[in-house]
Structure 1
Amino acid sequence: MSTFLLEIVTPERKIYAQQVDMVSVKGADGELGILAHHIPLVTPLKVAPVVIKVNGKKDELAVHGGFIQVSKEKVVILAESAELPGDIDINRAKAAKERAERRLANKKDHMDHRRAELALQRALARIEVRQHRD
């Protein structure tokens, strides 16, 4: 199987750079599976885990929005933020999920509601990535 370079970059640093077999992301229009020699594209990403396959093993990272750029040479994920499984505090993520759910149940103003939805999505992505690691 052919491999390609995957880079995951945030404004702070490069989180990931490795030759991979496949990467799966949730784009604005649905889930995308990228293999070597994929057609070039750029699309926004949703807040969701990114699944990476390398030598038959599966890795996951929590990616919080951004874009994916697929070119002939490599795939770059430009993320607003991204977290490796070992960097995720599962108790903190569960507490953030509960806070967001309480805010959503409150339904006071529209701006707070949108922020709570995003906080819930980030917490769920963190929990999923961390639980798959354990």
Structure 2
Amino acid sequence: MTTIRCDIVSAEAEIFHGEATLVVASGVMGELGIAPRHAPLITRLKPGQVDVVRPDGERLSFYVSGGILEVQPQVVTVLADTALRAADIDEAAALKAKQEAQDALSNRKDAIELAEAQAQLVQAIAQLQALERLRKQLKH
């Protein structure tokens, strides 16, 4: 077996369904590379990028807001509240969200607002990093 099926699903829709030779994601404990015949595994994901390498060598990039990655013998499943193709990320909105989160952090009010602002900042930065990686891939 030289490929594994990969499904990336958000709360709203299936974002990707297809064969892959490698899936790379940011787990809470570090980067994960999942290839065919990987041992079964379930882990939480950090907000960040998920890369899927297709059998033809094409590399697809997706942004996830965090979630769960499950590896079974025949399939890798990414379940996320929010998942977007990197090319579909709205850079202006991500920059605005980053600025708003930074403003909220500098105007610390209470612990709940602080935690929400930190989470929004992490997600905005992860979206911008996914865009940057996509741009680098397109240049090569």
User: Is TM (by shorter chain) over 0.5?
Assistant: yes
Length-normalised TM-score, structure 2: 0.89
Q: Deviations over 1:47-103 (max 9, x none)?
A: 111122223332211101110110001000011110112321111111111111111
CA distance in 2, matches of 1:13, 1:23: 19
Point out where structure 2 has 5 or more consecutive residues left out of the alignment.
136-140
Percent of aligned pairs with the same amino acid: 33
Worse-superposed segment, 68-77 or 116-125: 116-125
Task: Indicate whether 1:4 and 2:4 are aligned.
Answer: yes
Point out where structure 1 has 5 or more consecutive residues left out of the alignment.
none
Taking only aligned residues, the RMSD between alpha carbons, in angstroms, comes to 1.4
Q: Which amino acid aligns with 1:80?
A: D
Structure 2 match to 1:45: 45
Worse-superposed segment, 35-44 or 83-92: 83-92
Number of residue pairs matched? 134
Alpha-carbon shift at residue 128 of structure 1 (Å): 1.6
Task: Indicate whether 1:114 and 2:115 are aligned.
Answer: yes
Structure 1 match to 2:88: 87
Alpha-carbon shift at residue 43 of structure 1 (Å): 0.9
CA distance in 1, matches of 2:19, 2:80: 19
Give SS of 1:37's match. Answer: coil
Moved over 3 A (4+): none
Which structure features the higher share of strand residues? 1
Structure 2 match to 1:58: 59
Length-normalised TM-score, structure 1: 0.92
Q: Which amino acid aligns with 2:97?
A: A
Q: Which amino acid aligns with 1:18?
A: G
